[in-house]
Structures are given as structure tokens and as C-alpha cells.
Structure 1
Amino acid sequence: MMTGQTGQTGDPPDSEGDDTEEPEDTTGPGTSSTTEQTGGTNPTSGPVGPTSTSEGETSTSAGFIVPPDGGISGQCDPRVQDCPEGQKCTAVAPAEGEPWGVNTCVEIKGDGAVGDPCDVEDGKYTGIDNCAVGNICLLTDDEGAGGVCVEFCDTNDACPDTPTANCVVYNDGSLPICLGSCDPLLQDCPEGQGCYNSAGDLFVCFKESAMPGEGGPGDECQYINQCQKGGFCAATAAVANCPPNSSGCCTPFCPVSGGNGPCQAGEECTPFFEMGMAPPSYEDVGVCVIPA
């Protein structure tokens, strides 16, 4: 078993480009953490957060920075919304071509509530959107169009306007957001999104970024949402037919009670969580990996 994922990555649910540590090789589930870990496990200590890139690389899909700690950077705190009147605190890119990484005050341009459609002006990382104070426009295309207003977590890691969501913290603490919880076996997220593991024992909805014909079992991945719906980005050594020099490879989630049906030859449906650590209703969640 492998424990502890501490690498950084770089941007959110539909976004993605950033720095991340490569996954360490493993043949069985190990724990993974983004914010605070509470016992979840997965077959890699590598790829986490919706898309990011290793140092010196850029990503064409969305990504979060998934830090081990959640420090706030910039001139304001999105959890507190401490900007002057007429402005709101949001996450923006620290430099052109980078994903969200700092917090700053921007002019309020709209009153979009959680779940409302939204757009971001001048590219998806500027923070200038038509969502209300306390919300940010995510899940957009590269131009910043076609997004959805998402709530920032409060200081207690709660989601007052999205009570069924999970608070997850990405991008060095600059992106504490509320994402809908989901079941990886049911894949019960809104259209265009997949159910992916994040922050140890949490499963949340991210925008699926796999291109047609990519992200299937054994296909290379670096970010969790580069796999097709129902897939998990595991460490190279854990997946059959995974290119040896890849960052990681996609492999299916599977019901432990259902045998090895969706798994490739040489893999077994292995419990995703350590024995006795699965949250309620996730006891049957497994993932196809090469047995240790």
C-alpha cells in the first residue's frame, strides 16, 4: 500500500494546467490526499485533481492545483469575501497561461446563483464573471464560455448554498470550492461531468476532459478527469498495458461484489478503501488494478 499524496497540481473542474508530482509506482490501493485526508485510498499516490501538468509542461484540459495544505494567497480570502463594496474575492491566474493560483478582488458583474449558467470575460482564469458574490464560474470552455456558478466554501469548510456538496481545496488554497458528491459506480453527475475521487475519501463531479477515443482502460493520464466517466487515473505499475514511462493510466471503477468483469486481463477488482475505512454507501466501490 502507498500512503500520502503531497504533490501539487494546477486547476479545477474543467480547467487544468499546473505543476504536479508524478505518481509513484504501486500495485495496490494507497491513500491519497488533497486537503485533509480522512481515510480514503486509491491505487496511486500520483495523479490527482482535475488535470494539471508536471513542471515545464502545459495542459490542454482543465485542472486543479491540489495542495497538501490550504493556505490563502493573494489580497483577499474567498471564504470570507473581504473585498471593498462592489467587488468580490475570487481565484485568478497569477500569470498569463497559468491556471487559478491567487485570490484577488474583482468587480461584481452579475448575480448568478449556484448552478446558474455563467461566462468568464477574457478567458477562463480572469475571475471576471457574472456569478454572485461567494461564487465563481467554473466548467467553462477555453474561452471562458458555457460555465456554471460554483460556491466557495466558508471558513468552516461548509457549503451553505450547496448542502449536498463536498468542500474541496485546490490550487494552493486559492480555490476552496463546493463540488457535488457522487457515486463512482453509478456515475450520477450532470451531463458532461464524471464522478472522480478527490481529497482522499471524497467523490465529486468534475468536467470530463477525455477526448473521444482517449481515457479508456490502459490509456495514459496525468489528471483524474483525463479518464472517461467511470475511470480512475492510477499509477503506472497498477494498470495492465500501461506504457512504462507514463505518468499514470486509466482503469475502471468496479463493484467489488461483481467480480472482475470490467477489468483487463491480469487485473482484479480491488476495494478502493482500506478495510473498515469506506464511507457509508461506498463499501462496494472497487478499482481494477494488478494485484499486489
Structure 2
Amino acid sequence: MSTESSTGTTAPGTAGLTTTTAPDPASEPTTSLDTGTGSTTSTATTGDGTFIIPFDGGTCGAAFGEYQVRCTECNTWVQDCWEGAKCSPYSGDGDADWEALKCVDLDPAPDHPGDPCTVEGHGASGVDSCDGHSMCFHVDPDTLGGTCVPFCQGSPETPECPAGTTCMIANEGVIALCLPTCDPLAQTCPEGQACVAASVDPDAFFCLPGAGGQGQAFDSCDAACDPGLWCGEPELAGECDPEALGCCLPFCDLNLPQCPGPMLQCLPFFALGDAPAGLEHLGLCRLP
């Protein structure tokens, strides 16, 4: 685990997606527009016993662990919709921002995780060709084609994903998807994607489409930085603005330690003994 904390991560170039490093237990539930999709009569609970408030056709809210979701009639963690339907993130006002959850009928011949998929209407409509365990992600806004990505299992506090992936929780808990892990130094993600810090697991990094163009080395940041950089504490480098919420710091290779600036050193990103397999070489350029 990193010895320093980071701020949230915005997915640059990925419309409607904002990730957070940790839920705020003191935050108040927010509201959304009346989506007019109907109502449900059942009440479900998350794995920790938190009640999910049924959709009431107007302002509503739900707590998924410590996440406050704005408007929801279901829960992707437990998939509590009727038979033949799934809980799906969507945009209630038709923009590209997933801010709510609703039950949608499953495609009669659904695609599965890793398969190409399509969405209806627009990229955040919530209606897609994926099965009940995944959603259509990485959607091309012109063709409305993407890839089925599995939902995280377990709970927001203890998310579970297949080997080689990690859970990305975004948009105040509306999005919870298992994305491929990666090495932030190697940047081995597919074309058009970048390796960024995971929001739930500080020991992991995942591939995200469109990431980049958010901040160069030592730029101020309150969320994301360009690939190869990490949004850390400003006091970790003299080149940073001490009044900024965060500062883009370069990753480095402990086996070939090189850093910009005369005072910075390539120091381990993870505490001794905490580095996950494959990331033992990962360092951060910072003041000692």
C-alpha cells in the first residue's frame, strides 16, 4: 500500500465517469431529477445490512455501504431486479453522466463479459446487450458499440473481481466495474486507454479509456494526472504549489532510478513488504 494518500481520480476523456478514492461517511444523500421510469415495491439490503430505498419516481437515495447513490431502484451488487432483468447504471436526464440505477429487461441473446456489445439510444441509456453480470463500457458514441465489462461482486467495502482485474467504483457508487490491472510504468493498456490508480484498492492500477491530458509533472491536481504521474501531496516536491490540493508526481523505476529535479529521489511507492506482485519495482519521485 502506498505510504501517502491520494485524491480522487477523474477519467479524462471518459464522458460521465468520475472515481473517488474513498467514500465520505459524513456526506449527505443527494437528489436527482424525476426520471419517470416507474416504481418498485420491494426493499433490498446490501451485504452489510444497509437498506436500499425503493425508487419513488421522484427524488430518492440509497446507501451502498458508505456511498450515497442519488437515485436508484436497484443495486448492482446484489442484482435485485425481477427475473429477466438486471440493475443497470444510466443517465436520468439523457446526458453522458451515469448518475442513477434502474432495472432493465435483459437482451434475449445477451453478450457476456469480454464480448462486443451495443447500447440503445445513447452511451449512458442503461439499456445494452450485455448479460445480467455486466454492462456495456468503452462505448463509441458514434457506433454505440463497446465491450461487456463485469460488475464488481461482494460489497463496496470488500469488492471482488476476477484475477487480473480490480474494482473501479465511480460516480458516487453508481458504477462498480472490474477493469484489467496494469503497470503504471509500462503503460501496457490497449490503445486509447491509460493505466491509472484504482479508486478502491490503493495497491492496484487499472486500464481506463481516454485517460490523459489532465496534468503534467508538478501541475496542481485535485483528481487525475497524465499517465505515468500520480496525484500526491504537494509537500512531496519543492516544484509543487504548496497551496494546491494535490500535485502530479512522476512514477519511477526502483531498478533504474531517475527523477526530474535535483532534490527528488526515486523512493518506493509501497511500504516495505506491501508491494503487490509485479509492482515491487514501482517508485515515486519525491523529497526524502
TM-score by length of 1: 0.68
Distance of aligned partners of 1:136 and 1:184 in 2 relative to their CA distance in 1, 3 Å threshold? same
Identity fraction in percent? 32
**Offset of residue 42 of structure 1:** 5.6
5 Å-filtered alignment, 1:50-69, equals 50=11, 62-68=17-23
CA offsets 1:62-116 (integer angstroms, 9 cap, x no match): 4224543753742212133222234211122455557333321123346222223
1:8 is aligned to: none
5 Å-filtered alignment, 1:1-292, equals 40-41=1-2, 43-48=4-9, 50=11, 62-68=17-23, 70-71=64-65, 73=69, 74-93=72-91, 95=93, 99-109=97-107, 111-140=110-139, 145-155=144-154, 157-159=159-161, 162-198=162-198, 199-211=201-213, 215-224=215-224, 226-228=225-227, 230-239=228-237, 241-243=239-241, 246-259=244-257, 261-291=258-288
Aligned residues: 239
- The answer as to whether partners of 1:120 and 1:129 remain within 8 angstroms in 2 is yes
Distance of aligned partners of 1:227 and 1:67 in 2 relative to their CA distance in 1, 3 Å threshold? same
- Aligned-partner residue type, residue 289 of structure 1: R
Matched residue SS, 1:140: coil
Q: Within 2, Cα distance between the matches of 1:256 and 1:241? A: 21
- Of 93-102 and 120-129, more deviation after overlay is shown by 93-102
Q: Within 2, Cα distance between the matches of 1:90 and 1:166? A: 19
- Aligned-partner residue type, residue 278 of structure 1: A
More strand by share: 2
- The answer as to whether partners of 1:181 and 1:204 remain within 8 angstroms in 2 is yes
Distance of aligned partners of 1:130 and 1:210 in 2 relative to their CA distance in 1, 3 Å threshold? same
**Offset of residue 60 of structure 1:** 6.6
- The answer as to whether partners of 2:218 and 2:249 remain within 8 angstroms in 1 is yes
In structure 2, list runs of 5 or more residues that go unmatched: 26-63
- Of 274-283 and 233-242, more deviation after overlay is shown by 233-242
TM-score by length of 2: 0.69
- The answer as to whether partners of 2:3 and 2:271 remain within 8 angstroms in 1 is no
**Offset of residue 247 of structure 1:** 4.2
In structure 1, list runs of 5 or more residues that go unmatched: 1-39, 53-58
- What RMSD in Å do the two structures reach over aligned CA positions? 3.2
**Offset of residue 239 of structure 1:** 4.2
Matched residue SS, 2:19: coil
CA offsets 1:250-272 (integer angstroms, 9 cap, x no match): 3321112322x243443221211
CA offsets 1:23-56 (integer angstroms, 9 cap, x no match): xxxxxxxxxxxxxxxxx2164432335369xxxx
- Of 200-209 and 246-255, more deviation after overlay is shown by 246-255
Distance of aligned partners of 1:80 and 1:231 in 2 relative to their CA distance in 1, 3 Å threshold? same
- The answer as to whether partners of 1:75 and 1:105 remain within 8 angstroms in 2 is yes
- Aligned-partner residue type, residue 167 of structure 2: C
Distance of aligned partners of 1:193 and 1:237 in 2 relative to their CA distance in 1, 3 Å threshold? same
- Aligned-partner residue type, residue 212 of structure 2: A
Q: Within 2, Cα distance between the matches of 1:114 and 1:289? A: 39
Matched residue SS, 2:110: coil
Of structures 1 and 2, the larger Rg is shown by 2
Q: Within 2, Cα distance between the matches of 1:200 and 1:136? A: 24
- The answer as to whether partners of 2:18 and 2:170 remain within 8 angstroms in 1 is no
Matched residue SS, 1:257: coil
- The answer as to whether partners of 2:259 and 2:265 remain within 8 angstroms in 1 is no
